[in-house]
Amino acid sequence: MSTATPRSESSASAADDSYTSVYHLYEPHKVGLPKLGVYFKELWKRREFAAESSKAGMRGANSMTFFGQAWLVINPLLLALVYYFLLNVVSGKIGQGFDAQQMAHITGGLFVFYFFQGAVGTGAGSVVGAGKLILNTAFPRLLLPLAAVRTGFYRFLPTVPVYIVFHILAGNPWNVATFVAAPIFLLFITIFAAGLAAVFAALQVYFRDTSSFLPYVMRIWLYTSPVLWTIDALRGHRFAEILAPFNPLYALIGGYGEALQRGVFPSLSVWLIAAAWAFGAALVGFGFFMSRERDFAVRL
């Protein structure tokens, strides 16, 4: 018992930089969340991992080859065409010539929605897909869904020039809103997607069928968001107008569309709702993920 000297405070402070120093102390976690300072410092230190893992994933999916890249453009473009015809058939406008305005709206919204859907979908599988790495390496797990969002973003980039073509065909304006407000809304969408990717990645560990119902959620979400229709279309429908702000993508994609396609600065309320959804989702999603992530190794 002679060695049983009392514990001192210094060990607790040494744990603060436990990842970086030589001395590591592992103790039971008192509450759900790890020490955020250390966690995000480590996360930042390993950002290369997220980048490399995303790149490797894209190489694996042949996204880096010519036809892989081409497919990233052709796939959403074909979908945009399908929706364009569908809308025209439904509204009885078929045969009235090419409506470049509408096509620009559909492509602009659909491409960014595809980015969102892809990021969340890939993110959902990221933790379960990392299997052995989770079991045998200690690192901030949040890197995995974030890498998926990066992948989604890089798959979105090749569609931007395609949109620009339709933008020009439709004669849409180029102004400050296009170049400033639209990218900011794109950032909001990215942050929102990261939050959701984290939530679904954690859920997928517990319920492996999460990814099978995700596509249905996304499909409904697509129809209830201003992708195929514009924010103006709601005017006069009181019920829809009240409910719309509760759909995060209403403000996020709606604001993005207004700024990008019409060159209008969205109203303040749209800015605030979009920002609130984006940062709220990130806060809740990351918090949920981090509080569960130590459990992943025994659940995989």
**Are the beta carbons of 258 and 269 closer than 8 angstroms?**
no
Q: From the list 67, 74, 131, 217, which residue makes contact with other proteins (rule: CB under 8 A)?
A: 131
Under the binding rule (CB under 8 A), the answer on residue 295 touching other proteins is yes
**CB nearer to other proteins: pick between 7 and 238:** 7
**CB nearer to other proteins: pick between 199 and 275:** 199
Of residues 238-277, those binding other proteins (CB under 8 A)? none
Q: From the list 81, 180, 283, 297, which residue makes contact with other proteins (rule: CB under 8 A)?
A: 297
Under the binding rule (CB under 8 A), the answer on residue 46 touching other proteins is yes
Exposure on the CB side of residue 230, measured as CA atoms within 13 A: 15
DSSP string, 103-172: HHHHHHHHHHHHHHHHHHHHHHHHHHHTHHHHHH--S-TTHHHHHHHHHHHHHHTTHHHHHHHHHHHHT-
User: For residue 59, what are the CA distances in angstroms to 17, 113, 124, 151, 158?
Assistant: 35, 23, 19, 11, 15
Q: From the list 39, 49, 163, 166, which residue makes contact with other proteins (rule: CB under 8 A)?
A: 49
Identify which of 190, 222, 192, 205 has the alpha carbon closest to the alpha carbon of residue 76. 222
Stretch that binds other proteins, among 28-36, 83-91, 192-200, 255-263 (CB under 8 A): 28-36
Under the binding rule (CB under 8 A), the answer on residue 22 touching other proteins is yes
Q: From the list 3, 161, 216, 238, which residue makes contact with other proteins (rule: CB under 8 A)?
A: 3
Of residues 143-162, those binding other proteins (CB under 8 A)? 143
Stretch that binds other proteins, among 53-61, 70-78, 99-107, 180-188 (CB under 8 A): 53-61
Residues 6+ apart with CB under 8 A from 190: 119, 149, 153
Say how far apart CA 260 and CA 180 lie, in whole Å: 9
Say how far apart CA 220 and CA 70 lie, in whole Å: 27
**CB nearer to other proteins: pick between 5 and 96:** 5
Residues of 239-254 as b/e, b for ≥16 C-beta within 10 angstroms?
Answer: eeeeebbebbbbbbbb
| Residue span 187-226 as binding mask against other proteins, x where in contact by CB under 8 A, dash where not | -------------------xxxxx--x-------------
Under the binding rule (CB under 8 A), the answer on residue 169 touching other proteins is no
Which stretches of the chain bind other proteins, using CB under 8 A? 1, 3-12, 14, 19, 22-30, 42, 45-46, 48-49, 52-53, 56, 59-60, 129-139, 143, 206-210, 213, 294-295, 297-299
